[in-house]
Amino acid sequence: MSALILEDIAETGIVAKPSVAVVSVKTSHYRTKRGFATTKRIDFLKRKSDLECVYSIKEDASFCGADAVIGRIINLNDVKDGIYRMIFINEHRDWDSGHIEDWDYKLVPHEEAKP
């Protein structure tokens, strides 16, 4: 079996997706019986994302709750509606094992790669 090298990828047109979760952020404002409300919705764009990265974030939410994941997005209140990459930042490692045991998220504007 031959090894796949970068020249083969260029010839076949196969391009590896980056290891990132791409999300859509949408803000809604509406009236309630008691006043007004604002919601901010974050949807994963699966076709543009690395599914392992999306799975990791969803797994994080299943262990510690969606409110904890939302609370870890350091710039959620500062971003406008649009398409963003959800990246891992402020990674804290275990002193003994070196494994990452805590982190935060940040939303960075997503730009499509031009062919």
For residue 40, tell me if it sits in a domain: yes
- Does residue 83 lie in a domain region? yes
Q: What is the band of 88 on the pLDDT scale with cuts at 50, 70, 90?
A: confident
**Comparison of pLDDT for 29 and 16, the residue scoring more:** 29
Q: In angstroms, rounded to a whole number, what is the distance separating the alpha carbons of residues 51 and 47?
A: 9
Q: Kindly indicate the confidence band of residue 84, based on its pLDDT and cuts at 50, 70 and 90.
A: very high
Given this model, what pLDDT does residue 93 score? 80
Whether residue 6 is contained in a domain is answered as no
pLDDT number for residue 114 = 60
Q: What's the domain count of the chain?
A: 1
Short-list 66, 65, 54, 52, CA closest to 23: 54
Q: Which residues make Cβ contacts (< 8 Å) with residue 99, sequence separation at least 6?
A: 93
Does residue 2 lie in a domain region? no
Of all helices (H) and strands (E), which one includes residue 13? none
Contacts of 94 (CB under 8 A, 6+ apart): 100, 101
User: Torsions phi, psi of 12, nearest 5?
Assistant: -85, -15
Q: What is the domain extent for residue 25?
A: 18-109
pTM assigned to the model: 0.73
